[in-house]
Each structure stands twice: as C-alpha cells, then as structure tokens.
Amino acid sequence: MPESYKVGIIGAGRIGRIHIENLVYQIPNVTLKTIADIHITPELNQWINNLGNLKITHTPEEIFEDEEIDAVIIASSTDTHALFIQKAAKAKKHIFCEKPIDTNISRIEHTLEMTEEEEIKLMIGFNRRFDPDFRSAYEVVKKGEIGTPHIIKITSRDPAPPPRDFIKKSGGLFADMTIHDWDMACFLSQSEVVEVYASGGVLIDPEIAKLGDIDTAVSMLKFSNGAFGIIDNSRQAVYGYDQRIEVFGSKGCIMVDNKPVTNLKIFTEKETKEDKIPYFFLERYKQSYINELRYFFNCLREGISPRPNGDDGLKNIIITRAAQKSFEEKRPVKISEIIP
C-alpha cells in the first residue's frame, strides 16, 4: 500500500481552494489536516466545514509546528512565498509552492540554499507541465519521436485582460503571463535559454498603457543547443483562452491545438460551426492542478526530486528579467547579462 501523507495548506484564495478541493477529493492516500489563512471569513469557514473535518487557523505556525504534518502547500500571496518556504524547510516539511518563488533573485537564491541544506523536497507550481496534452507532447519529444527540437512555438492568449488592480501589481505581462511560457519552452526544449528578444505594445486597451504595462507581446528565445523559441501573447483573445504548443524537430513536428468544449459540428445552409474553446483557465487547466499534486506526492513516495524545482522557478524569473530588459532596451539580451 502506498505511503500516506498529512498535509497543511497556507492560503485559501482562488488557487488555494483548488488545491484544497483536489487534496480532499482527488489525491489518494493524502490527508489534508490544516488550512491557514489570514482572512477567515464566515463564508470560508462554511466552505471548509462542508469538506469534512478540517482544522482552520490564522497562523501558519500551527502547520510548521505540527509534527504530524509531512508536507506544506504554499498558496498565499507571492510576497510571502520565500518566507514560508524557509520556515517549512526549517521544520523539515516537504514543500509545494505556487509560482513564483519571489521576484527578487537574491532572495530566491538564498531561499533555495536553505531548502538544500534541509534536504526536503521542493516543487514549484508551474501547473501547465501537468496538462495531460502538453505532458504527452513532452513525452513524445523526450522519446525522440520528432528528433532534436529546432523550433518551439507557444501561443498563449488570455480571453480578457485582468482587473486593473492585478495589472498594477503583477510585475507586467512578461512576469504574469509569459512566465508560464518560458517554463513551457524550457520544459519542451530540454535545453537552457541563453538569449531573449522581447517586443510588445498596447493594442487593446490604452488604460493598460497608463498602468505602465503592455497587452500584446512577441518573444524570441535562443537555447543553448541552438534551438529557437517563439512565443506570442495577448491579454484579449475574444474567442477564448488560446493555449497551443508546437515543437518542430529534425524528425518531425508535434502540435497541440485547443480543444473545443464539446465535439459538436453543425452544418447549416449558412455555415459550418464547431463549439468554442474554453474561456476560463480553471476549466482549461483543471486536470493539470490535480496531476501536479499527484505527481508531487508520488515523488515523495519514490524519493525522487520533483520538477519544476526551485532552480526551474529561479530560471523563469531570470528569463522574465531578461525579457523585460530586452523590451526596454529594444535589443536581444543574453541571460548572462542578468546572472553573470
């Protein structure tokens, strides 16, 4: 019988609740024991009670100090991630932390050093690697079915811009949207990014410009093995959440297209229609959140170091920094310019 784990989670916001539901219903041999959140509203209290016999607390310390708890899920706000990783590591608990680790490179490096000393497992939540379709594509590439990757293409467009408050604090399009695509490009290429050229502009909403951000971007990556990556982003694809990947290699090409919500095809005198593609990221990536946690606990069971790990998380931040610099200075920027 597989080893079972007791878990605490910090943060019961939108993404935290996804993990909580998945822990309760979808992850076998794992028991969620404690939920910590700084704002325990009556509504949250009620929601948690409906899920069964769970402990709710204001203080994450209750999780760190609980000897029964083996692993901590960190789903609190970004500015708390590094601190909670450090505390959990000190408490010898395995850690699954939402992306990003932090926005400060030195703080990330310091945090990662600590986790290494404590010999616990740390996984960062770049969930798209666990989307069943993208994962299958990765497996095909890894098996060599399409040879050596030459060009990785990622299309990543949101259905609608986020609220202004989010944009103000997000760190910009490259930090909040493209970061997922850097991770996917690295994952699929099985190589290291060495250079970034990023360009973009405001084509959708002038208000976004006023907030200092862009809404449309195209980025080009060079990998250490000579391969190229091209990514295009938009904050507003009116037809839905457009998420596609393509890996072109020496022996073939693999493409993963969007899946319409249903498989209906309607033929009329006027036109042929398919169903629309999903609109919400939670609908599109639902299974990836389940699969990433299953994988995390399987890694614990088998003593494997999970990926994406802290280094992956750090690299994605560094690429973001390079992209931002490229965008500002209107020139390709080497990764070595960011981390000499």
Site residues (CB under 8 A) for a second copy?
25, 52, 132-133, 136-137, 140, 145-146, 148, 150-151, 153, 155, 157, 197, 199-201, 203-204, 216, 218, 220, 222, 226-228, 230, 232, 234, 236-240, 242, 248, 250-269, 271-277, 330-332
Q: How far is the CB of 149 from a second copy (least distance, A)?
A: 9
Q: How far is the CB of 132 from a second copy (least distance, A)?
A: 6
Looking at the Cβ atoms of 118 and 147, the one nearer to a second copy is: 147
Query: Any residues with CB less than 8 A from the CB of 144 and at least 6 apart, and which?
Result: 251
Q: How far apart are the first and last CA of the chain?
A: 48
Q: How far is the CB of 146 from a second copy (least distance, A)?
A: 7
55-60: long-range pairs with CB below 8 Å, 24+: 60/8, 60/10, 60/36, 60/84, 60/87
Q: How far is the CB of 257 from a second copy (least distance, A)?
A: 5
Looking at the Cβ atoms of 119 and 269, the one nearer to a second copy is: 269
User: Hey, which bits of 206-256 come out as E strands?
Assistant: 216-223, 228-234, 242-249, 252-256
Looking at the Cβ atoms of 27 and 112, the one nearer to a second copy is: 27
- Spatial separation of the C-alpha atoms in residues 27 and 49, rounded to whole Å: 19
Looking at the Cβ atoms of 43 and 165, the one nearer to a second copy is: 43
**CA-closest candidate to residue 295, choices 284, 305, 310:** 305
- Spatial separation of the C-alpha atoms in residues 59 and 110, rounded to whole Å: 24
256 backbone dihedrals φ, ψ, rounded to 5°:
-120, 110
Q: How far is the CB of 214 from a second copy (least distance, A)?
A: 11
As given in the structure block, the two tokens for residue 227 are 């391969």
Residue whose pair of structure tokens reads 């060009």 in the numeric block: 151
Q: How far is the CB of 100 from a second copy (least distance, A)?
A: 26
Looking at the Cβ atoms of 242 and 292, the one nearer to a second copy is: 242
Q: At what angle do helices 78-90 and 105-118 cross, to 10 degrees?
A: 20
Looking at the Cβ atoms of 64 and 138, the one nearer to a second copy is: 138
